[in-house]
Chain A
C-alpha cells in the first residue's frame, strides 16, 4: 500500500469517526428530559406541552401515507402550506400582479423585503409555521404558544369563545378561544391586523382562523388550519402543519437588536446596511 493510500485511508477513517461522533451527540441529546412537558393539563385530555419543531415528511414518493406522517408520499411538506388563497375574482388580478412583482424582483437579485426582513413578526397564522422551534405550555384553561423567532407569543383560552368580530381589536396574534371536540382542540381566532398577511394574501376584518390540533402520537401533533373570510375568499383556505417533539430543547431568546436589512427608499429593494453607515 502506498503512503498516499495509507494517508487517504487514515483521513477516511477520521472522517467516519467524526460523522459517528455527530450522530452519537444527537442521540445523546434526544434522551435528555423534556423539562417543559406540563403536568398541569386537564386530566384525561391530550397535553400539547413541550418544545416542538416543524415536522417535514420524508422525501420518499413510495412511502405509504400514515396517520403519523400524513404528508408522506407527497414529497416534502409544503413550507407555506397548500394551495394559494381562493380569493374572490375581483381580488385575483391585484394579488397576482403583486406576486409577479415579488418574483421578478427576486430574479433580479433585488428582493422586496418580507415583514421578517424588517424585524416584524409573522403574526397569525404565519407564526404557526414554526420557522424556529416553538414551546407549548398547556395549563388549566389556557394554551400558550411561544415561537422562538421574534419571541412571538399567543394565548389560547380554552373553554371561551373568541370575541365578536366588531369587538376584536386588530392585533398580530389575534384573540383565540378554544373547545375540545373529543381529542381535538378546536381553536378559533379573530382580530388580525390588516397588514399581517400570510403569503401576502389580503384579508378582511371578518377573517376567522380555525385550527384543529390533535396529537398523532406522543411525539407529534398536527394542526389543520382553515382560514374563512366571507368578504375576501370564495371558500375555506386549508392546509396542515405537523410538529415533532424536540426533547430537552431550551428556547433561545430572540430580540431583533440590529437589523441591517433595510428597504432602499429609491428602489424598494432589500439591501444590507454596513456598520457605521447611517440608515
Chain B
C-alpha cells in the first residue's frame, strides 16, 4: 500500500497548499509534454512505493539521455535514517527545459527534498518524481516519468 499523502494529514492550510502544488505539477507535467512516451521502460522502478528523501547533493549532471542528481540522503518517513549515496534519474535536458528547469538550478552542496520511485532491486537508485529546491521551488520530472503519488 503506497504511503499516499502521508504528509497532507495536517492542517487545512497545508492540505490546500499541497493541492496547489499538485495542481501546478499536473498542469506543468501534462500540459506541456502531454502524451509523450518515455525513451525506455520505467518498469525497473517501483512506482507504487514511492519514497521521500532528504539530503545533500553531491553532483548534478545535465546530460542526455538523462539528467542525474547524486545525493547523500536519508528517508524522511522511514524509521531507518541511514544516509546512503543515491543516484536519481531525471528526464532529459530537453523535457526538463520545457517544464521550467535550468541547467544550473541545482548545485553540489544543495539541501534538497525529493520524491522518487526506487529501484525494485533495492539498490540506491531511483526515478525522480518531484524535487524541492533549497528556495522552496518544486519541480516535477515531466510527463513520461509520471507524478508524485506521495507528499
Contact = CB atoms under 8 A, between A and B. Distances in A.
A164 interface: no
A260 B63 CA distance: 11
B121 A252 contact: no
Interface in B34-52: 34-37, 39-41, 43-44, 46
Interface of B: 11-13, 16-17, 19-20, 23-24, 27-28, 31, 34-37, 39-41, 43-44, 46, 59, 61, 63-66, 68, 70, 87, 89, 92-95, 97, 119-121, 123-125
A258 B63 contact: yes
Give the bracket for the number of chain A residues in contact with chain B: 35 or more
A8 B65 contact: no
Given A15-B19, A19-B23, A256-B64, A111 B34 contact: no
A117 B24 contact: no
Contacts of B119: 272
Contacts of A56: 34-35
A252 B44 contact: no
A18 B24 contact: yes
Contact of B40 (A22, A54, A133, A261): A261
Contacts of A110: 43-44
A254 B64 contact: yes
B43 A106 contact: yes
Interface string A109-121: 1110110110100
Contacts of B120: 109
Contact of B123 (A107, A113, A257, A274): A274
A259 B134 CA distance: 28
A7 B59 contact: no
A270 B44 contact: yes
Interface in A89-121: 105-111, 113-114, 116-117, 119
A255 B36 CA distance: 19
Given A4-B12, A270-B40, A257 B28 contact: no
A134 B34 CA distance: 15
A54 B11 CA distance: 42
B95 A132 contact: yes
B34 A4 contact: no
Interface in A1-48: 4-5, 7-8, 11-12, 14-15, 18-19, 22, 26
A165 interface: no
A24 to B, nearest CB: 12
Interface in A242-261: 252, 254-261
Given A11-B16, A56-B35, A275-B87, A22 B27 contact: yes
B89 to A, nearest CB: 7
B111 to A, nearest CB: 20
Nearest to B27: A22
Contacts of B64: 254-258
